[in-house]
Amino acid sequence: MWKQNTNNPLENAKLQMQQAFETHPDFVQYQDQFAKLFYPDRTIEISIPVRMDDGTLQIFTGYRSQHSDIRGPYKGGIRFHQDVNADEVKALSVWMTIKTAVVDIPLWGGKGWVIVDPRSLSRNELEQLSRWYVRWLYKYLGKDTDIPAPDVNTSGSIMAWMMDEYSLLNGEYTPGSFTGKPLSVGGSLGRKEATAQWGIYVLEQILSYSWEKIAGKKVIIQGTGNVGGIAAELFHKSGAKVVGLSDIDGCIADENGLNIPEIFKQKKLGKKITDTPGVKKIDASDFFSLESDIVVPAALENQITVENAGTIRAKIVLELANGPTTKEADEILFSKNILVIPDILANAWGVVVSYFEQIQNNTNHYWTAEKVDAHLQETMKKAAQWVYETAKSHDTFLRSGAYIVALQRIFEAMADRGK
């Protein structure tokens, strides 16, 4: 089981961007825009009343941080999790602005959160919570205003309830108000695999610059949810060996490669990954130091820290989670010559497919899986190339390369709008 780190993610985001800002000499003219970047346009806190199944009333705290809508509506997931503070939501909304700018889509940053452990709620309680979230925030949301999506512990069904509530309040079917919905109510093909598939395409693209391939590589993955679980299956299919896997129930390892299809088959039946027969259970403190080629954090923020970065033996870290590496840990990885494929590039697909979903909803014309995949590959290739080449030309690491690409677009748009 991994622990929630107390590092302040907004500070972390600032430090990362400061570094990119200083790397690019032309950015001096954008001092004001840079300073403004760390202040979301607004962060709304709400108290959500839920009548529990046992008749009692419980109040949950929720947030929506709208970072910036300089060249498109606010966009970003809603997370249901017990550990959060407002700074974390703000940092995550800044990241969404950066992420959408790296891949160059006309949606900007937002993020939402409800402090709750959704596993402690019944289906009915979860639905009430989701609908109330929309009721309280209704006037701040909308297909041209702010479009939420799933994130940690939220799903397509939650988005469907939220879109339904929004449509009721709006007086018309408004599928473009939420993305990540089930296919039956305006979801896009290709969503389910979205984040993990994109991350693996990005990895393939970056590996191709040095004539390398995924097949045969040893991979360790932190997280077995929407992102980590699908990444494990996709790595397995590509011929990589998943030698370590961890989630809230614990960490498992097998140097010959875990039987991923079987583990996930059992997981769907309600088994814990640690119940898998024949696997070695290891301590969380030993997880990242397992012998591997690629480490994939696909869970929460601040998991690779000064305490464990030095023990990583892999050559590549593929950040599928948002902000999984602290600034200090990043420097340790850099000094060890470990290539970090940063979150803002590696996990951007969720929001890219959200953009495709929105286009389909707003035009009421739906794409084939082939069309989604073709657009995905085209967007991914351009983004990976921009980041790789920018990092190379500034003699810096990929994270700074990605920030430079994003900041350039953000600053220009802010300056042009007189912000």
Stretch in the footprint of ligand GLU (CB under 6 A) among 83-91, 113-121, 329-337, 347-355 = 347-355
Residue 408 as a binder of ligand GLU (CB under 6 A): the answer is: no
CB of residue 114 vs ligand GLU: minimum separation in angstroms? 14
CB atoms within 10 A of CB 417: 9
- CA-atom Rg of the chain in angstroms: 20
CB of residue 324 vs ligand GLU: minimum separation in angstroms? 12
Residue 380 as a binder of ligand GLU (CB under 6 A): the answer is: no
CB of residue 308 vs ligand GLU: minimum separation in angstroms? 23
- Asked if 403 contacts 20 with a C-beta cutoff of 8 angstroms, the reply is yes
Contacts of 376 (CB under 8 A, 6+ apart): 190, 197, 198, 201, 349, 352, 353, 356
CB of residue 180 vs ligand GLU: minimum separation in angstroms? 6
Which residue is at the shortest CB distance from ligand GLU? 77
Stretch in the footprint of ligand GLU (CB under 6 A) among 73-81, 121-129, 291-299, 382-390 = 73-81
Residue 151 as a binder of ligand GLU (CB under 6 A): the answer is: yes
Of 23, 10, 9, 11, give the one whose Cα is nearest residue 401.
23
The count of chain residues that interact with ligand GLU, using the rule CB under 6 A, is 11
Catalytically active residues are 111
Q: 75, 81, 90, 399: which one contacts ligand GLU (CB under 6 A)?
A: 75
What is the C-alpha separation between 70 and 25, in angstroms, rounded? 23
Q: 66, 354, 396, 400: which one contacts ligand GLU (CB under 6 A)?
A: 354
In DSSP terms, 46 is beta-bridged to 62
Residue 66 as a binder of ligand GLU (CB under 6 A): the answer is: no
Q: For ligand GLU, which is the closer residue by CB, 102 or 338?
A: 102
Of 258, 272, 199, give the one whose Cα is nearest residue 230.
199
Q: For ligand GLU, which is the closer residue by CB, 245 or 351?
A: 351
Of 396, 419, 337, 336, give the one whose Cα is nearest residue 17.
396
Residue 350 as a binder of ligand GLU (CB under 6 A): the answer is: yes
CA distances from 234 to 237, 238, 246, 411 (A): 5, 6, 16, 37
CB of residue 105 vs ligand GLU: minimum separation in angstroms? 10
In DSSP terms, 66 is beta-bridged to 42, 110
CA quadruple 376, 300, 307, 255: dihedral positive or negative?
negative
Residue 398 as a binder of ligand GLU (CB under 6 A): the answer is: no
What is the C-alpha separation between 172 and 278, in angstroms, rounded? 54
Residue 24 as a binder of ligand GLU (CB under 6 A): the answer is: no
Residue 219 as a binder of ligand GLU (CB under 6 A): the answer is: no
In which residue are the tokens 């299919």 written?
237
Q: 62, 76, 112, 229: which one contacts ligand GLU (CB under 6 A)?
A: 76
Q: 62, 72, 73, 77: which one contacts ligand GLU (CB under 6 A)?
A: 77
DSSP state of 4: P
Q: For ligand GLU, which is the closer residue by CB, 332 or 344?
A: 344
Phi-psi domain of 132 (left: phi exceeds 0; alpha: psi -120 through 50; beta: other):
alpha
Task: Enumerate helices (H) and strands (E) in the chain, giving the number of each.
Answer: 15, 12
Interface with ligand GLU by CB under 6 A: which residues?
Answer: 75-77, 149, 151, 179, 322, 347, 350-351, 354
